[in-house]
Structure 1
Amino acid sequence: MIREHLKKINKPASPDGDLIDCVLSHQQPAFDHPKLKGQKPLEPPERPKGHNPTGMVTENFQLWSMSGELCPEGTVPIRRTKEQDMLRASSFRRYGRKPRRHVRRDTNSNGHEHAVGYVSGDQYYGAKASINVWAPRVANQYEFSLSQMWVISGSFGNDLNTIEAGWQVSPELYGDNYPRFFTYWTTDSYQATGCYNLLCSGFVQTNNRIAIGAAISPTSSYKGGQFDISLLIWKDPKHGNWWLQFGNGVLVGYWPSFLFTHLRDHASMVQFGGEIVNSRPSGFHTSTQMGSGHFAGEGFGKASYFRNLQVVDWDNNLIPLSNLKVLADHSNCYDIQGGINRVWGNYFTMEGLEEM
């Protein structure tokens, strides 16, 4: 069963030394979907108003492309899934999927702990943030640490819709401790729909230089250089698909609107922040770090940050947040502090577990 599934995920392609396959755009996993069979990726949509690129930033932020080898036009780079990747999963059928309860709702989150900023109570058509990248320590194969954006609609029962993007360290999914660029989606509260990256029919990649699921380099260092990635998710007003942009103007691809129920219209909540899994038994706590592994109050260069937080309104305008709220499930382990200034706009710093 695993080998048959691998045949579907790993399309025929010319592999490079980092096991990144350059797959013809119309042969990527998304086009296995019945509603996309025989089609090709869409043309770029209208960008949100208020998006003012300051020039194209480098796309060379991943280890696989450091050698200068990139995929040719008309193809997309896809990280090859290996047999040992699937064997690390809790089950064959759950490979590439998140456990349930990956959106912060309450403190009873099955070991998932969050430190997030969020807005709710309005109609949202996208979100943007610059996310500080670190390489946090993860205690074991069954835990992870991530920083991401969530675009959310629906109830917290069985019909929750989310679109997600950011970076994560997940030894179970990737087999190492590198921070990796990732995407995710679900339309039924992480039960049977959706997946990470391109591990199922869903996200349509349009970029030939960014490999979703590939390791990020450089990363930030404590009291040293800081590195962040800017991500924008927005709903195309014309076709209704949700697009993902990296940096100042690099389109990564889109989630077709038909994948969703509630998100076919708009989002009702946007979250930004960090999440870890604590797999230790009750009364004990994992040593897995969130972000930098240092408290939010230590500030820039020491604590992890999100900056320039914005949302997209009904008229496709990027606007600042007016009612950002912050919360942490376990503030003695992972805390968060919000603020606003002229340079960073709406921002917050958050903490990962310090040395125990």
Structure 2
Amino acid sequence: MALLVFDGGVDVKAEARKTLSEIDKKLKLLNKPAIKSIKSEDGDIIDCVDIYKQPAFDHPALRNHTIQMRPNTIFASETSTTKHESSPAMLTQTWQKSGSCPKGTVAIRRVKRKELLKADSLEHFGRDGPRTSFAVNTSKEFIKKNTSNDESKFFECFPAPEHSYANLYAVGNNFIGARGDINLWNPLVESYDEITSAQISLKSGFVENFESIEAGWMLDGYRLTGCINLNCAGFVHTSLVIALGATFTKVSKLHGPQFQINLRIDHDPITNHWWLQICNEVVGYWPAEILQYLKEKASIVAWGGDVYSKYVKPGHPYHTTAYMGSGEAASELFGSANFITNIRIIDDSLQLKYPDPAFFVVDEPNCYSALIHKADCDSEPYFYFGGHPDDKCVYNKK
């Protein structure tokens, strides 16, 4: 006698075959044919893909897009003014030890089947959860209320579902560039579907409907993405040197050497593209064709840390133990806490300057923290953030 097992009338084996078929189809869509492939010692495979066959052109708005290799306008830059000994120019990714990509290609990290198998869904793969934002509300009343001289003031903001953040904000209507040196760490996360990150973001639009472009480092429960992990449909990649989502060779150590990357995001006034540069390497751009509210200017710039988990925010009996930043509290300062420094914006004045006023928000101050600190009156401000949840953070072990 044969034993037949039914699960709600669904043929389980057939469903499994369907899932694997869908995964293979997704992999084929994500991983374009390579002219050359490089196997990295960290297990990554970097594909050198024809620049005109990269995933960006799967976006329907970019079918007839002409690639721009360099921005039309180069805005002013600065030499690091930080007094601490750290390394803002480290740009070595692990895969570069094993080879390089030829001209006419871009370096793209290959997505593996096991990554898709671990994803909550194929549709969700490459995304860090739903977002809403207070920052796109730029009415005069809002700005007046939330840009007090007391930079440590906490204030009410619209919720970001399943996100906990500690950010420094500049609010206005005319940002065309942003800068920051972001301290690199390899923090702990609790499970494969959690993410912790440090980034610069620019936003514009409305609470119900807004756009955001972000760059920084990200770590999830499956792999370290020490540079950036945009996963942004339509981002046009132009670099032979940087593979988005690949690891850096060096990260900071607690009470040890500190490493950081310099990020620049600039608006091109001729094409309306937003360009990303990392340590003077032009990585690529968000093209104007895929933008609406950010086509010309941003209304907010944010610098800081973000934890994405199903177990954040009040109301959960359990809170994630995922670290933000290094996992150390902001008050621990240099060598312990995650930081961003050389913080700059560019507005209609076309001048590179520290945002004034600037204020920070910590979404869950019982769990994570933030602090603006200057060693002395002449020192560069550091924005410190981070921490790891403990018993004070609505936290009970499973």
**8 Å CA contact 2:176, 2:297 repeated in 1:** yes
CA–CA separation in structure 1 for the residues paired with 2:258 and 2:37? 32
Aligned partner of 2:383 in structure 1 is 348
Aligned partner of 2:185 in structure 1 is 134
Q: Name which of 165, 181, 188 aligns with 2:227.
A: 181
Distance verdict in 2 for CA 1:337–1:65, change over 3 Å = same
Aligned partner of 2:32 in structure 1 is 11
TM-score normalised according to structure 1 size:
0.86
**8 Å CA contact 2:73, 2:269 repeated in 1:** no
Give the drift of 1:32. 2.6
For 1:165-204, list aligned pairs within 5 A.
Answer: 165-171=215-221, 175-176=222-223, 178-184=224-230, 196=231, 200=233, 202-204=234-236
For 1:1-150, list aligned pairs within 5 A.
Answer: 1-13=22-34, 14-18=36-40, 19-37=45-63, 39-52=65-78, 60-67=91-98, 69-101=99-131, 103=133, 106=157, 108-150=159-201
Distance verdict in 2 for CA 1:179–1:103, change over 3 Å = farther
Encode CA deviations 1:148-183: one digit per residue, 9 max, x unaligned: 0110001121x2101000001012xxx33x243224
Greater shift in the superposed pair: 339-348 or 316-325: 339-348
Q: Name which of 271, 275, 278 aligns with 1:246.
A: 278
CA–CA separation in structure 1 for the residues paired with 2:284 and 2:378? 29
Give the drift of 1:217. 2.2
Give the drift of 1:115. 0.6
Residue 294 (1) aligns with residue 328 (2): yes
Give the drift of 1:279. 3.0
**8 Å CA contact 2:330, 2:384 repeated in 1:** yes
For residue 45 of structure 1, what is the amino acid of its counterpart?
P
CA–CA separation in structure 2 for the residues paired with 1:183 and 1:237? 26
Distance verdict in 2 for CA 1:147–1:305, change over 3 Å = same
Distance verdict in 2 for CA 1:285–1:314, change over 3 Å = same
Aligned partner of 2:347 in structure 1 is 313
CA–CA separation in structure 2 for the residues paired with 1:275 and 1:123? 25
Residue 333 (1) aligns with residue 333 (2): no
For residue 33 of structure 1, what is the amino acid of its counterpart?
H
Aligned partner of residue 264 in structure 1, secondary structure: coil
Give the drift of 1:118. 0.4
For residue 146 of structure 1, what is the amino acid of its counterpart?
S
Quick check: which has more Rg, 1 or 2?
2
Greater shift in the superposed pair: 2-11 or 106-115: 106-115
**8 Å CA contact 2:23, 2:116 repeated in 1:** yes
For residue 383 of structure 2, what is the amino acid of its counterpart?
F
Greater shift in the superposed pair: 337-346 or 269-278: 337-346
Q: CA RMSD in A?
A: 2.3
CA–CA separation in structure 1 for the residues paired with 2:237 and 2:378? 32
CA–CA separation in structure 1 for the residues paired with 2:170 and 2:127? 26
In the alignment, structure 2 segments of 5+ residues that lack a partner are: 1-21, 81-87, 136-156, 392-398
Aligned partner of residue 253 in structure 1, secondary structure: strand
Identity across aligned pairs (percent)?
A: 33
**8 Å CA contact 1:207, 1:251 repeated in 2:** yes
Aligned partner of residue 277 in structure 2, secondary structure: strand
Number of residue pairs aligned between Structure 1 and Structure 2: 333
CA–CA separation in structure 1 for the residues paired with 2:300 and 2:346? 12
Give the drift of 1:61. 2.2
CA–CA separation in structure 2 for the residues paired with 1:122 and 1:339? 27
TM-score normalised according to structure 2 size:
0.78
CA–CA separation in structure 2 for the residues paired with 1:297 and 1:92? 40
Aligned partner of 1:283 in structure 2 is 317
**8 Å CA contact 1:107, 1:329 repeated in 2:** no
**8 Å CA contact 2:202, 2:213 repeated in 1:** yes
**8 Å CA contact 2:183, 2:252 repeated in 1:** yes
